[in-house]
Structure 1
């Protein structure tokens, strides 16, 4: 599958990482040169510097041949424009748009080229499953055949785990922390890593429930 992601922020980067790891052809476009430069060598994706609200930029990024376009910027106005251009001018078969402000949710429909509108608070796993329309695309995240799940949890300022090293967090049996995503970048989690607000953890487990993971960190 060819996927085009507009927006190289935390969400766009995470989606790109997962889709690329699952073997998809992924392109990420963003107008912020610092963001694009920061991702060089970090992700196995094509990076395009430019404003995805411009038709020429979308065309350069490959929207005409993409199977999936995801508008994941932090601005609802931009996501609507990107969606409309992707659907109307580039004939993208599937367009997903992030809704940052719930008050704008009513705008995100097929009139603006949006096939699937995703609230900003939607968990990463659910968002990718919605975007791709098939859970097998995200086998990296949900390995049901092997009896293994990857469970996501986000550390907030109110989480009991804030400031604690991973070694102090009691995890359910058969559960390990696979990665800590901090400021959009995945890191290998050592036992001395101290958790900070905004950290997103992906945990691999063959037995723990989401509630058990939530209780351990929140």
Structure 2
């Protein structure tokens, strides 16, 4: 699947990381040049600086061949414009948009090109489940085209993995850690990263169940 994510804030970056970890072709764009520079080298996605509200830039970013577009900026007006362009001008099959202000929810519908309207407080996994059309429950996302699972787990003070380095944790076969989210920011999961209470992990696996991941970390 080819995905285009507009907005490289916390939500947009997490979405891009999860989709990329599931072996999708992902492009992440943002108007903030410094933010894109900050992410370079830490994500397995294509990074572009530009205004996704502009048709020319969206075309440059690959909107004509995109299967999924996620408008995840912090401005509802931008997300609506991006969604409308994606659907009406580029005929993107599936468009998801973040709703930052609940009072604007009524605008996020098919008239503005939005297939999936996602409140800002919606959990990451639920957002991606809706955006990709997946139907699995709990904290488990199955991307049928990629044939892998994305599983989310959180570290608490009682977790057996708290204080341990990633290199010291035995993962189920066929499982890799896509990202560690710490203090609201995704970090590159290098072997020396030591887990802390409050960390959230997103793991990608071809075979492991949520129970097996829980056993490894909790």
Question: Which residue of structure 1 lines up, in the alignment, with residue 39 of structure 2?
Answer: 39
C-alpha separation in 1, matches of 2:83 and 2:48: 18
Indicate conservation of the 8 Å contact 2:180/2:186, yes or no: no
SS of residue matched to 1:187: coil
- Which runs of 4 or more aligned residues in structure 1 lie more than 2 Å from their structure 2 counterparts after TM superposition? 134-142, 150-153, 184-196, 199-210
How many pairs are equivalent?
193
Does 1:23 find its partner at 2:16?
Answer: no
TM-score under structure 2 length normalisation: 0.74
Q: CA deviation at 1:3?
A: 0.6
Q: CA deviation at 1:186?
A: 3.9
Q: CA deviation at 1:95?
A: 0.6
**Closer, same or farther in 2 for the Cα pair 1:166/1:61, shift >3 Å?**
same
Question: Which residue of structure 1 lines up, in the alignment, with residue 101 of structure 2?
Answer: 101
Question: Which residue of structure 2 lines up, in the alignment, with residue 118 of structure 1?
Answer: 118
SS of residue matched to 1:130: helix
C-alpha separation in 2, matches of 1:118 and 1:137: 22
After superposition, residues 1-218 of structure 1 pair within 5 angstroms as: 1-134=1-134, 135=142, 136-137=144-145, 140-142=148-150, 150-153=151-154, 161=157, 166-167=162-163, 178=177, 179-182=179-182, 183-188=185-190, 192-195=194-197, 199-202=199-202, 206-207=210-211
C-alpha separation in 1, matches of 2:58 and 2:193: 42
TM-score under structure 1 length normalisation: 0.74
- Structure 1, residues 161-198: CA drift from partner, whole Å, max 9, x if none? 5xxx9239xxxxx99xx5531323243486854446xx
- Which 5+ residue runs of structure 1 have no aligned equivalent? 143-149, 169-173, 211-215
**Closer, same or farther in 2 for the Cα pair 1:54/1:128, shift >3 Å?**
same
CA RMSD of aligned residues (A): 3.2
**Closer, same or farther in 2 for the Cα pair 1:4/1:195, shift >3 Å?**
same
- Structure 1, residues 41-85: CA drift from partner, whole Å, max 9, x if none? 211211111010111111110111111111011111111110011
- Which 5+ residue runs of structure 2 have no aligned equivalent? 135-141, 165-170
C-alpha separation in 1, matches of 2:17 and 2:49: 18
SS of residue matched to 2:60: helix
